[in-house]
Amino acid sequence: MGLLSGDMLGPLAVAVLIFLLLLDVMHRRSRWAPRYPPGPTPLPVLGNLLQVDFEDPRPSFNQLRRRFGNVFSLQQVWTPVVVLNGLAAVREALVYRNQDTSDRPPPAVYEHVGYGPRAEGVILARYGKAWREQRRFSLSTLRNFGLGKKSLEQWVTEEASCLCAAFADQAGRPFSPRDLLNKAVSNVIASLTFGFRFEYNDPRIVKLLDMMEDMLKEESGLVRQVVEAVPVLLRIPGLAAKIFPGLKAFMALIDELITEQKMTRDPTQPPRHLIDAFLDEVKEAKGNPESSFNDENLRLVVTDLFSAGMVTTSTTLAWALLLMILHPDVQRRVQQEIDEVIGKVRRPEMGDQALMPFTVAVVHEVQRFADIIPLGLPHMTSRDIEVQGFYVPKGTTLITNLSSVLKDETIWEKPFCFHPEHFLDAQGRFVKQEAFIPFSAGRRACLGEPLARMELFLFFTSLLQHFSFSVPAGQPRPSDHGVFAFLVTPPPYQLCAVPR
Ligand code: HEM
């Protein structure tokens, strides 16, 4: 009490201020290194927090890119950040320097839901043994439970039939397809992780999707940036629960689902799904303190696969249907190809892709145009490196502006238009494009890419085989400008699905 009274307050305030300024100078000293990327001057303590609109950083990044070039720096409070733009810079960092750019910034903001040194999940895991172990496990388990095999294809195809039946129930009336797409895609992940699918009217899937939506909203905005830069703030009692209610609720539901699977598990039988396979690994790792196979990590790995695998694919499908109602000529050409190669009765198969260059080009162009993860996921340098001649010190957060590559004006003929010809040659054959990187690149690139590709092709062709989609009569033509909330979702819209 006595210490904080009267005459002492002034000098104490000055001392705290000097301490903060010294800390600030210490944190920004890397900026004075020769060849450090240019960027806007950071304010004391706040850095560039007020100079970037974190509700949607894309326009601010575009302006900064025009001013400072393809590699520019920012200071988020005390975290040094370098933003990479354009194919050359992104590829150099993620592919050629992948050994030193595959770390993630410490996920301190998630400690309140169990992230810690022994449990890091996959997506946010630091680059090291635990990440390698879990990435390999996720990939191989997904493969063993069907990824790349016929059985998963059958799963997706059967789910596509359920989705078509649910679309048919709308009986040509205008509706928003978002909810049904979310449920269908969730069911594919649910089958892989829990071994069952939800009926579309199961209250648990409704709850799961609501929570997922809340969780995504919590991933962007200024408050999120502030606690990320100063995670110690989350030690204020009650603050984490207030800022991340969706994440907490989502993980509680995942816990319930995992417990259910543990109770019905028969250890004498082969694993039924990813959770069983993980529990087998936990048993094997008993007594090994180095292992990342433990109960705490199981819930994080399942949450990661669920959250990364669900909303990304369903958002892309929502974009695909929006673009079909906005471009009826493209829709007709896809349907013509479906009719010629698959017909009206047989279910689409992955093998059909080889004979359907136009449809494959359309799916690629949907992903390029929709550009749903425009800023990728943050990486961190684990060593001092050079990118495009600039010095980027160890411990710098890297933001890979995937959007700047997917919409690069020097590469794409019509970067801001939906133009399937970007992926077709003069003879109408499908052509790969190096700048097509919606799944990112390098060691941390999306591990669910094969599954996502399978879902996109099979759901899309199944829907277009059975329905013609249009803007409902009397409704205005929806816009094709996305809404940024970490992911870029299409604007809310309705469509009519008329059986063919
Ligand atoms: C259209 C669908 C999808 C898109 C556009 C997409 C895109 C991405 C992107 C951009 C990243 C960040 C890569 C980086 O850090 O550089 C990522 C990471 C990841 N994705 Fe996907 N993804 C999709 C579907 C899926 C699916 C279906 C799954 C799982 C079943 C999945 C699981 C993951 C995981 C686990 C990571 C983290 C990888 C790591 O850190 O090692 N994704 N994805």
Q: Is 149's pLDDT higher than 60?
A: no
The mean per-residue pLDDT over the stretch 197-213 comes to 91
In the reported structure, the alpha carbon of residue 59 is separated from the centroid of ligand 1 by a whole-number distance in angstroms of 24
How many whole angstroms separate alpha carbon 456 and alpha carbon 348?
A: 12
How many whole angstroms separate alpha carbon 42 and alpha carbon 28?
A: 9
289: helix, strand or coil: coil
The encoded tokens of residue 43 equal 């304010």
Nearest-atom number in ligand 1 for the CA of 456 is 1
In the reported structure, the alpha carbon of residue 445 is separated from the centroid of ligand 1 by a whole-number distance in angstroms of 7
Residue 79 CB partners (closer than 8 Å, separation 6+): 47, 105, 228, 229, 397
How many whole angstroms separate alpha carbon 98 and alpha carbon 92?
A: 8
Single-letter amino acid code for the residue at 205:
I
How many whole angstroms separate alpha carbon 466 and alpha carbon 169?
A: 13
Q: Is 3's pLDDT higher than 80?
A: no
How many whole angstroms separate alpha carbon 222 and alpha carbon 72?
A: 20
CB 481 within 8 A of CB 370: no
The mean per-residue pLDDT over the stretch 172-183 comes to 96
308 pocket-lining for ligand 1 (C-beta < 6 Å): yes
How many whole angstroms separate alpha carbon 128 and alpha carbon 140?
A: 18
Give the distance, in angstroms, between the CA of residue 359 and the centroid of all CA atoms in the same chain. Answer: 24
| pLDDT on residue 383 | 96
CB 74 within 8 A of CB 83: yes
In the reported structure, the alpha carbon of residue 123 is separated from the centroid of ligand 1 by a whole-number distance in angstroms of 8
Position with higher pLDDT, 47 vs 188: 188
Single-letter amino acid code for the residue at 423:
F
Question: How would you write 252-275 as a 3-class SS string?
Answer: HHHHHHHHHHHHCCCCCCCCCCHH
Q: Is 146's pLDDT higher than 60?
A: no
- Which residue has its alpha carbon closest to ligand 1 atom 9? 439
- Which residue has its alpha carbon closest to ligand 1 atom 21? 446
* Helical (H) or strand (E) element with 468: strand 467-470
CB 469 within 8 A of CB 321: yes
In the reported structure, the alpha carbon of residue 134 is separated from the centroid of ligand 1 by a whole-number distance in angstroms of 14
Locate the DSSP E strands across 350-396: 379-380, 385-387, 390-392
* pLDDT band at residue 458 using 50, 70 and 90 as cut-offs: very high
In the reported structure, the alpha carbon of residue 61 is separated from the centroid of ligand 1 by a whole-number distance in angstroms of 23
The mean per-residue pLDDT over the stretch 408-425 comes to 97
| Continuous H helices in 195-237 | 203-217, 222-229
Nearest-atom number in ligand 1 for the CA of 124 is 40
87 pocket-lining for ligand 1 (C-beta < 6 Å): no
The encoded tokens of residue 274 equal 């990813």
Single-letter amino acid code for the residue at 343:
G
The class (CATH top level) of 34-478+494-499 is mainly alpha
How many whole angstroms separate alpha carbon 497 and alpha carbon 492?
A: 16
Q: What is the pLDDT of residues 28-85, one digit of tens each?
A: 666 677 899 999 988 887 888 888 888 889 999 999 999 999 999 999 888 899 999 9
438 pocket-lining for ligand 1 (C-beta < 6 Å): yes
In the reported structure, the alpha carbon of residue 304 is separated from the centroid of ligand 1 by a whole-number distance in angstroms of 9
| pLDDT on residue 393 | 94
Single-letter amino acid code for the residue at 165:
A
| pLDDT on residue 1 | 47
Winning range, highest mean pLDDT, from 141-155, 244-258, 484-498: 484-498
Helices and strands counted in the chain (H then E) = 17, 10
The residues spanned by each domain of the chain are 34-478+494-499
Locate the DSSP E strands across 329-393: 379-380, 385-387, 390-392
440 pocket-lining for ligand 1 (C-beta < 6 Å): yes
| pLDDT on residue 489 | 95
- Which residue has its alpha carbon closest to ligand 1 atom 24? 309
Q: Which residues are annotated as a binding site for heme?
A: 446
Q: Strand pairing of 487-489 and 496-499?
A: unpaired
452 pocket-lining for ligand 1 (C-beta < 6 Å): yes
Single-letter amino acid code for the residue at 437:
I
Single-letter amino acid code for the residue at 120:
E
| pLDDT on residue 465 | 98
Q: Is 141's pLDDT higher than 90?
A: no
102 pocket-lining for ligand 1 (C-beta < 6 Å): no
Position with higher pLDDT, 444 vs 146: 444
Nearest-atom number in ligand 1 for the CA of 445 is 13
**Which stretch of 211-220, 295-304, 359-368 has the lowest confidence by average pLDDT?**
211-220
Q: What is the DSSP letter of 495?
A: B
In the reported structure, the alpha carbon of residue 441 is separated from the centroid of ligand 1 by a whole-number distance in angstroms of 10
| pLDDT on residue 5 | 66
| pLDDT on residue 180 | 97
Q: At what angle do helices 328-341 and 449-466 cross, to 10 degrees?
A: 90
The whole-chain average pLDDT of the chain stands at 91
The mean per-residue pLDDT over the stretch 350-372 comes to 98
Which residues are 61's β-sheet partners? none
Q: Give the side-chain half-sphere CA count within 13 A for 27.
A: 22
Ligand 1 probe mutation, 446, 458, 459, most atoms within 8 A of CB: 446
The mean per-residue pLDDT over the stretch 217-244 comes to 79
In the reported structure, the alpha carbon of residue 146 is separated from the centroid of ligand 1 by a whole-number distance in angstroms of 18
How many whole angstroms separate alpha carbon 394 and alpha carbon 331?
A: 48
469: helix, strand or coil: strand
Q: Is 416's pLDDT higher than 50?
A: yes
Ligand 1 probe mutation, 300, 311, 312, 375, most atoms within 8 A of CB: 312
CB contact burial 361-378 (16+ within 10 A = b; e otherwise): bbbbbbbbbbbbbbbbbb
- Which residue has its alpha carbon closest to ligand 1 atom 23? 312
CB 183 within 8 A of CB 207: no
In the reported structure, the alpha carbon of residue 285 is separated from the centroid of ligand 1 by a whole-number distance in angstroms of 27
CB 85 within 8 A of CB 65: yes
- Of the candidates 18, 22, 72, 24, the one whose C-alpha atom is nearest the C-alpha of residue 46 is 24
- Of the candidates 64, 63, 62, 58, the one whose C-alpha atom is nearest the C-alpha of residue 39 is 64
| pLDDT on residue 4 | 57
Per the listing, tokens 């397809």 go with 177
How many whole angstroms separate alpha carbon 85 and alpha carbon 82?
A: 10
122 pocket-lining for ligand 1 (C-beta < 6 Å): yes
- Which residue has its alpha carbon closest to ligand 1 atom 7? 439
Q: Which residues are annotated as a binding site?
A: 446
- Of the candidates 138, 171, 81, the one whose C-alpha atom is nearest the C-alpha of residue 381 is 81
The mean per-residue pLDDT over the stretch 311-337 comes to 98
Q: Strand pairing of 79-85 and 71-76?
A: antiparallel
The mean per-residue pLDDT over the stretch 201-225 comes to 84
* pLDDT band at residue 148 using 50, 70 and 90 as cut-offs: very low
DSSP string, 65-125: HHHH-SEEEEEETTEEEEEEEHHHHHHIIIIITHHHH-B----GGGGGGT-BTTB--STT-
